[in-house]
Amino acid sequence: MSRKASKFQDYKEHAAGIATEVALAVAIFGGGLLVIIVLEFLVD
């Protein structure tokens, strides 16, 4: 693999890594919202 192609591969991996981490963060606050909805239902 040429140096340029290898660099491009690295950038692709990094971008996929960022997407994975953002997806995890979004899943965490999605879970938080769900917990709050369930608690509201239970307390009411």
* Contact between 9 and 1 (Cβ < 8 Å): yes
Binding positions for other proteins, 8-27, rule CB under 8 A: 13-14, 16-18, 20-22, 24-26
Output 3 or 12, the one with its CB closest to other proteins: 12
Q: Which amino acid is at 3?
A: R
Give whole-number Cα distances, 26 to 10, 13, 23, 43, in Å.
24, 20, 5, 26
Residue (8 or 25) nearer to other proteins, CB: 25
Q: Mask: binding to other proteins, 25-44, rule CB under 8 A, as x and -?
A: xx-xx-xxx-xxx-xx--x-
